[in-house]
A and B are shown apart, each in its own frame.
Chain A
């Protein structure tokens, strides 16, 4: 075969292989979502959201306790994590040359790469081991620690996108630095910061590993953050690894609810930013 012909064919074959890779890479998402709907949707009804689990062997029941637990724990994690994360991100954007900012950026990258199970161990030694009991609050603390570096980095990136001329204009009008920062700069990129926060919330809402030995999970409705608490991902884990078919059914339905929450949050976040910043690109 002519060498040139061979080179053309090689190019075509490689492109074919890459298209194959795209298909294989996209397939898992569709397969996973498809199975979740197929196996989970049938078990979802009103009772699933409003009732507590029933003993093994009985059918029916719901995961209201886990929904409440996830909302409470993620909410408290947000209350702790978002202000610290956003504040730290603002510091890095306001004082970019400050040595503290450099250190914090590096540390945030390290923390972003830290396995969530290690953060769970940390929360256990810090809170559970000292209080001598499992608690929803320990779970919240672990989740907050995962949120902080994520929120910090996105906040900084978003603030950096604000044109410098806006800041200069505000300063020239006689605004104090803090007012310039809060009511001009941060306000301009607020949608971006909200997006970053939503993504962080979506991410921790699906976290299981840091809750295993902090919140522990529970079969009862618990609204007390000082007590062990159920959560959607923990419920999926317990029920998926249990021996009963009924449990597996609940695991699928719970997973479907969980993924809906997570995907809706991340879709919302992405759509919000895209509309905001498409003009710039």
Chain B
């Protein structure tokens, strides 16, 4: 205690303090209700999907995943063509989108003049803002005619030795859906990979350049490996988007319950079958089967997205095993 310490002249009124405590309690309670709503909603979603599909789960069990017949009239439901279609369209999308978006991301972080970075990234991110149904519209009336008249015949002539590019050419096809999906997932892969590439320490590229690497070698052997798991995360994030995408795919894929080797043939996806049949489902078991499809799709996207998050998180936390790739 020193003599110069100012004396407290007035205690705050008990009423003020109490009012403050009440205010804080009400504040925290309100926020807690809001934050509790989030897990509650998700729990509710899982529960409702489970209840909705229980009929189908009990009747078909895991045969649902291996069955190939989808016949609402005979009440026979097998989801294999849907699963294969979902995976194929997503795979086509990734094959096209990954090199493109990685190229853009590497160019923008390592090579491009500074003034170009913001505008290009901005334009590509605007692609993510375009509604899915607009992609579908554009796909039906612009993309498919071009594909059908020029691109598909060309592919059949040049790559026709592969089973993927054989057979009759349909406009609405797995490949058309895959291409539109590629355009749609590209912005996600691009922007996340750009973020992880930017997080790579400058010393990494300086060291490579100092050892005499060309700029490309520095980017490809020093920067990209450092960010590898983040890039893989970005790709998986794009995969998650592609798996769940509904409208554009429904409008372009041709909606046929068949597994075809050719990418020119129509197919079907899990999301598309729900979009097409849910309003017109005739029986309880049909609803249940569609709910079962929705539940499976949900579980798959949760796993895929969880994996992506873990990988991206490892890079942004700087625990990517950084530098080990060099």
Contact = CB atoms under 8 A, between A and B. Distances in A.
Interface string A239-263: 0110000001001100100110011
A117 B274 contact: yes
Chain A interface: which size bin?
35 or more
A15 B130 contact: no
A25 B38 contact: no
A32 interface: yes
Interface stretch (B24-32, B71-79, B159-167, B195-203): B24-32
B103 A21 contact: yes
B134 interface: yes
Nearest to A182: B27
Contacts of B279: 212-213, 216
Contacts of B216: 10-11, 14-15
B129 A236 contact: no
Nearest to B119: A26
Contacts of A149: 38
Interface string A17-53: 1111110111011011001100100000000000000
A8 interface: yes
B144 to A, nearest CB: 12
B49 interface: yes
Given A126-B48, A206-B134, A259-B131, A17 B42 contact: no
Contacts of A209: 132, 246-247, 271, 275
Contacts of B33: 87
B154 interface: no
A226 interface: no
B39 interface: yes
B34 interface: yes
Interface string B225-243: 0000000000001001001
Contacts of B130: 29, 32, 206, 259, 262
A25 B186 contact: yes
Interface stretch (A54-62, A71-79, A97-105, A189-197): A97-105
Interface residues of B, number: 86
B141 interface: yes
A32 B138 contact: yes
B211 interface: no
Nearest to A18: B107
B306 A208 contact: no
A7 B217 contact: yes
B76 to A, nearest CB: 21
A91 B244 contact: no
Contacts of A117: 244, 246, 271, 274-275, 294, 297
A244 to B, nearest CB: 13
A10 B215 CA distance: 10
A116 interface: yes
Contacts of B28: 95, 178
Contact of A251 (B123, B135, B137): B137
B38 A88 contact: yes
Given A18-B107, A117-B246, A148 B297 contact: no
Given A21-B99, A258-B134, A88 B127 contact: no
Contacts of B244: 113-118
B100 A100 contact: no
Interface in B117-144: 120, 122-124, 126-127, 129-138, 140-142
Given A18-B111, A100-B32, A178-B23, A26 B103 contact: no
27 contacts: A14-B216, A21-B103, A21-B107, A22-B112, A25-B104, A35-B142, A84-B38, A87-B33, A88-B35, A91-B31, A91-B32, A95-B31, A118-B244, A121-B274, A121-B291, A122-B44, A149-B38, A174-B12, A181-B27, A182-B27, A206-B131, A209-B271, A213-B278, A216-B279, A240-B133, A255-B133, A262-B131
4 cross-chain pairs, A with B, having the tightest CB-CB distances, nearest first? A115-B244, A87-B34, A206-B131, A21-B103
Interface of A: 7-8, 10-11, 14-15, 17-22, 24-26, 28-29, 31-32, 35-36, 39, 83-88, 90-92, 94-95, 100-101, 103-104, 107-122, 124-126, 145, 148-149, 152, 174, 176-179, 181-182, 202-203, 205-209, 212-213, 216, 233, 236-237, 240-241, 248, 251-252, 255, 258-259, 262-263, 266, 270
Given A87-B30, A149-B38, A208-B131, 18 more contacts: A21-B99, A22-B112, A25-B124, A25-B186, A28-B127, A87-B31, A112-B305, A117-B271, A122-B44, A126-B44, A174-B12, A176-B23, A205-B131, A206-B131, A208-B132, A212-B278, A240-B141, A241-B140
